[in-house]
Amino acid sequence: MAESSTDRGPLLATLGVSLNPAVLEHALTHRSFAYENGGIPHNERLEFLGDSVLGLSVTQKLYRENPDLPEGALAKMRASVVSTVALAEIAQTIGLGGYLRLGRGEELTGGREKASILADTMEALIGAVYLDQGLDTASALVLRLVEPLLADPARFGAAMDPKTSLQEAAAAHHAPAPVYTMESSGPDHDRVFVATVTVGELVTAVGQGSSKKHAEMAAALTAWTELSARAS
């Protein structure tokens, strides 16, 4: 069973920010850890705050850099960049899972890889930076984190609807339609779903989530990314 790293230095270096240690610990504390340790504060309020900062920062950038796009197109682009799948991918890229403070139950059921937990913690970190360093620093962090998505227009559609994007990519490769299989574990109130998607003999990818839909979306986005890299 993986354990949380107690050295936060590498995470802060990756983020490129300085942060009050107590605020950082608050942002990394999942409710499962809080409940098992006397009801200490957890990160859901910071997540609520960070969601707003994230949305505002991305909205401003898209608005300023796409003066000819209508509201509907801007809304779709924003939704793809701030989606659970996209945020979880960003979190995985910076190794956020290794720093989470999780309760034993979440540890045993792979909480460090759950897209929902990773995405929520990513938002909580943004909220923490906003509280500690202000809007300018928080917005700059958001734009650094989402830049890889913004720099690749194809990923807008893929992150928004990865299953459709994967199906289209499979057709472009003259491959069979994607086939999904599903496994689950954990108690009924906290199920963990693991989806596997196979596209002929081209690619097999795995995704995990708190619902069948999120697990399939995560698997599809990974498979789409692999097929796209192969095509390029």
Q: Which of 89, 106, 123, 216 is catalytic?
A: 123
Range with the poorest average pLDDT among 27-36, 177-186, 217-226: 217-226
Report, in angstroms and rounded to the nearest whole number, the Rg of the chain calculated over CA atoms. Answer: 18
Whether residue 44 is annotated as binding a ligand: the answer is no
Q: Please give the domain boundaries of the chain with CATH numbers for all domains.
A: 8-155 (1.10.1520.10), 159-230 (3.30.160.20)
Confidence grade of residue 204 (pLDDT, cut at 50, 70, 90): very high
47 annotated among ligand-binding-site residues: yes
Q: Provide the terminal-to-terminal Cα distance of the chain, rounded to the nearest Å.
A: 37
Amino acid 122: pLDDT:
97
Catalytic residue among 51, 106, 161, 216: 51
pLDDT tens string 151-183: 776 666 666 678 888 998 899 889 999 999 999
Per the prediction, the chain carries an average pLDDT of 88
Contact criterion met (CB below 8 Å) for 19 and 12: yes
68 catalytic? Reply is no
Is 107 annotated to bind a ligand? Reply is: no
Candidates 228, 224, 220, 230; CA nearest to 181 is 220
Q: Could you confirm whether 123 is annotated as catalytic? A: yes
Helix, strand and coil content of the chain, in percent to the nearest 5, comes to 65, 10, 25
List pLDDT tens digits, range 66-121.
888 888 888 878 888 888 888 988 998 899 999 999 999 888 888 898 888 999 99
Tokens of 59: 């909205």
Nearest-angstrom CA–CA distance, 71 and 200: 38
